[in-house]
Amino acid sequence: MTSLLGVIGAVGSAIGTQSFTLGTVEFLDTEVPSSLQWGGYQDTAIMHRPGGGKTISLSGYYEEPLAWKGVFRGYNAWSRANLVATMVRSGGIYTFAGAGLSRQVIITAFEAIYTDNGTVIPYSIVCEIVPAVAGAANGTKSALAGLIGDDASSAVSEISGLVDTVGSYVSSSAEAISTYAGQITPLANLFGAGGQLSSVSATLSGVATDAGALSSVSSQSAINTVGTELASSQSAVSSVMTISGTELSSIASNAGTDLVPDSGALAASVAHSGVVASTAQANAYLSRATVNVGLSNGSVISD
């Protein structure tokens, strides 16, 4: 075995030895793998929507760990393997260079097999790549900007869908919904021309346009401006949700022993329930976008 490794080492020297370095350790000859797989992935969150649509949110690019195998050989094989094992235990950050790559890494796994009285030690190693600080900051900002824009757009879609679906329902049920027991705020005030939902929808569309224009090169001031717009629109959406919630409570209190007091109240309950559900969902998107604005500022968000 030792003689075979010597031949391999000689061949490697003849064709030009390749080496890896990890911290102060230089891997040579049979210690260097014949290949090294590297690459990464763009982390995504995919939200599927009715009708085949979907929203794809990007969280950032992450490099896969570097992993390889080799063989320490010679009189100092055991001491070299033990040195790498010590580096693993330290949990330090080391510079890796090899195969045309240069990365800051943390050794997360190392295994070795003692053979031939410690003169031949096959090993395997896994190194997690540490992102460069500048790249990580830029990637995080880009990811947050994308998430803010996606959530603002989702809020618009939610309210627009509400205006379309429930608005059509209200129009077709106008006669039944015109008056009912427990009515406080007529549905026309919400869904009619110039009604509150139309106003909220227009406001959200403007916010979504501003949020969608954010990117990794946007100034913090621009992101904060969108944050202010998000907070304002969230208040408007909450106001509409409160109106419908109050209306549902009033209908219930006038129902007596019945589930609802009359057919008009039943029709109105369906409409207001849709308003409450959709505005709650829209507010969830807006809240998450607001949190991400805070994160872009380095704010710590606590529950």
Angle of CA points 162, 163, 167, to nearest 5°: 105
Is position 115 within any domain?
yes
Q: Are residues 172 and 117 in the same domain?
A: no
pLDDT by residue for the chain (303 residues), tens digit each?
A: 545 444 444 444 444 457 899 998 999 999 999 999 999 998 888 888 777 877 777 777 889 999 999 999 999 999 999 999 999 998 889 999 998 889 999 999 999 999 999 999 999 999 999 887 544 445 566 677 777 888 888 888 888 877 777 666 666 555 555 555 556 666 667 766 667 777 888 888 888 888 888 776 677 788 888 888 888 888 888 888 888 888 888 877 776 666 555 667 777 777 778 888 888 888 888 888 888 787 776 654 444
pLDDT at 70: 95
Q: Are residues 157 and 271 in the same domain?
A: yes
> What's phi and psi for 41, nearest 5 deg?
-150, 155
Is position 301 within any domain?
no
- Which of 77, 64, 75 lies closest to 31 in space, CA to CA? 77
Give the integer Cα–Cα distance in Å for 300 and 225. 19
Q: Are residues 87 and 142 in the same domain?
A: no
Domain stops at, among 77, 102, 131: 131
Is position 238 within any domain?
yes
Q: Are residues 168 and 284 in the same domain?
A: yes
The range of the structural domain enclosing residue 232 comes to 135-296
Is position 142 within any domain?
yes
Is position 302 within any domain?
no
Q: Using one digit for the tens of pLDDT, what is the confidence trace for 85-134?
A: 999 998 889 999 998 889 999 999 999 999 999 999 999 999 999 887 54
Is position 163 within any domain?
yes
- Which of 136, 156, 134 lies closest to 144 in space, CA to CA? 136
Contact (Cβ atoms closer than 8 angstroms) between residue 120 and residue 84 = no
pLDDT at 72: 95
Contact (Cβ atoms closer than 8 angstroms) between residue 54 and residue 142 = no
Q: Are residues 126 and 154 in the same domain?
A: no
- Which of 189, 212, 214 lies closest to 200 in space, CA to CA? 189
Give the integer Cα–Cα distance in Å for 203 and 177. 27
> What's phi and psi for 120, nearest 5 deg?
-135, 115
Is position 186 within any domain?
yes
Is position 145 within any domain?
yes
Q: Are residues 57 and 158 in the same domain?
A: no
β pairing state of 40-48 and 93-98: unpaired
Q: Are residues 142 and 120 in the same domain?
A: no
Number of domains within the chain: 2
Q: Are residues 140 and 257 in the same domain?
A: yes
Q: Are residues 13 and 69 in the same domain?
A: yes
Give the integer Cα–Cα distance in Å for 270 and 180. 13
Six-digit token string for 93: 């950050």
Q: Are residues 168 and 182 in the same domain?
A: yes
CATH number of the domain residue 11 falls in: 2.40.30.200
pLDDT at 45: 81
Give the integer Cα–Cα distance in Å for 127 and 38. 11
Give the integer Cα–Cα distance in Å for 111 and 143. 36
Give the integer Cα–Cα distance in Å for 223 and 213. 10
Buried (b) or exposed (e) across 100-124, using 16+ Cβ within 10 A? eeebebbbeebebeeeeebbbbbbe
Domain stops at, among 76, 96, 131: 131
What CA–CA distances, in Å, run from 207 to 112, 232, 244, 268, 290?
57, 10, 23, 30, 12
pLDDT at 167: 65
* Tokens 């580096």 sit on residue: 87
Domain stops at, among 115, 131, 147: 131
Q: Are residues 156 and 120 in the same domain?
A: no
Q: Are residues 181 and 240 in the same domain?
A: yes
Give the integer Cα–Cα distance in Å for 141 and 218. 9
pTM of the model: 0.50
pLDDT at 249: 84
Give the integer Cα–Cα distance in Å for 73 and 241. 72
- Which of 154, 134, 118, 166 lies closest to 233 in space, CA to CA? 154
